[in-house]
Amino acid sequence: MNESYSWLNIFCYCSLCRAPADDVVAWGESLEQLLECKTGQLVFEDFLRTEYSEENLLFWLACQEYKKITSEAEMTLAAKRMYTEFVQVDAPREINIDCVAREEISGNLSQPGPNCFDGAQRLIYALMENDCYPRFLKSDIYQALLEHNGFGS
């Protein structure tokens, strides 16, 4: 069992998780299904926190919210805030992207558009899909949620 989760934590998770059994099962079908569900996002974020990589999900979610902004002034403020929090070197929640993606965002900051973070968001999604998500599916917490809902081993 992962040392980050005690059986008590897993019991509490199962008791508190109000996601319908069908949702919990759907989380195992694709990262997209997991991210479409608010409870799935919260469970995945908690898992990522144990791996010290929750910044990936937080950045991806921030990008989703950023795309909804319609005001140019708000977009500029949000872009600078996201850059400071996630993109710049030594940011508090620095995401793992290549220097090309980092420079592209940096160059767009003076006049950020709705697609300012798209390249980096795709990179982070791929990282989560190919790295974090498969580990999440094997994690004690996800397996316990499946069992609690009558599925799993």
Distance CA 98, CA 143 (A): 33
Q: What is the pTM of this model?
A: 0.86
Check whether 39 has a pLDDT greater than 50: yes
Q: How far apart, in Å, are the Cα atoms of 46 and each of 43, 107, 119? A: 5, 33, 25
CATH superfamily of 20-148: Regulator of G-protein Signalling 4, domain 2 (1.10.167.10)
Is residue 24 a contact partner of residue 149, using CB atoms and an 8 Å limit?
A: yes
Read off the pLDDT of residues 116-142 as tens digits, 9 standing for 90 and up. 999 999 999 999 999 999 999 999 889
Give the pLDDT mean for 52-60: 97
Distance CA 95, CA 80 (A): 15
Domain ranges of the chain: 20-148
